[in-house]
Amino acid sequence: MDVAFILILFVIGLIGSLLSGMLGVGGAIINYPLLLYVPVLLGYTGFNAYQVSGIVAVQVFFSTLSGVFAYRKGNYLNKRLILTMGIAVLVGSFIGSFGSRLLSEEGINFVYGILAIIASIMMFVPKRGKDDLELSDVTFSTGLAAGLSFLVGIGAGIVGAGGAFLLVPIMLVVLKIPIRMTLATSLAITFISSIGAAAGKLSTGQVPLVPAIIIVLASLIAAPIGTMIGKKMNVKILKVILTLLITATAIKVWMDILI
């Protein structure tokens, strides 16, 4: 692995983690396509889908951990929501990540494409309710939150994601959680999910350690910065950025699957 390739991986990690911190997602929706396509476009031997999902799983673990620390002093973390969705998504993500070894590379990319397009559609559904509700005023269906989180965990575990790119629209559209609370709380839930995803990928030998370490180091630098920027940005701008990113990624992945 030459110096130039190491630098490319580091920049990929910086970009993905900066955006993930800003938008309250673990970074998989961004880093998965970057790791899959950018090295090949620059003339290097690319990673296969197993390796990409393994690297992403480890990166999401560390980026969401640092993001949660940045949000811990605010009033945006909903502990009941974290406990309910976190346990369900943890179980699902471990099942998905451990079982992903049974899928082909095309199968893993197909699952990623499905998740991305669902998330893209959900983000276009108008959200109702106020964005500045007090923590004590927020209510949600425990059964619905747990059930949806479990299903998201299975799919996200397959591609090494924490599932935030699906959990965020679910929390906004289905559970009617305020935007800023969603962005903060989703980081904590995604961190719990990433424990299962990373454990499954590591136990099945899908993680190339050196590239994963490079991406993680970049994440530890960029994710907290992105979180600080996200706190100061207008919530409507955050939602537009997130929607555009998910949509663009879904289009790219499906073009490759179909063409």
For residue 189, which of 216, 158, 162 has the smallest C-alpha distance? 162
The C-alpha atoms of residue 206 and residue 214 are separated, in whole angstroms, by 16
| pTM score of the predicted model | 0.77
Tens of pLDDT along 181-196? 887 788 788 888 888 8
Q: Which residues contact 249 (CB under 8 A, 6 or more apart)?
A: 29, 30, 32, 33, 116
Tens of pLDDT along 39-58? 988 988 889 989 999 998 89
Q: Which residues contact 220 (CB under 8 A, 6 or more apart)?
A: 62, 63, 66
Q: What is the pLDDT of residue 124?
A: 66
Q: What is the pLDDT of residue 10?
A: 94
Ordered by start, the domain boundaries in the chain are 3-258
Query: Given pLDDT bands bounded at 50, 70 and 90, which one contains residue 5?
Result: very high
Q: What is the pLDDT of residue 74?
A: 62
The C-alpha atoms of residue 71 and residue 214 are separated, in whole angstroms, by 24
Query: Given pLDDT bands bounded at 50, 70 and 90, which one contains residue 30?
Result: confident
Least confident of 25-39, 98-112, 150-164: 25-39
Position 98 pLDDT exceeds 60:
yes
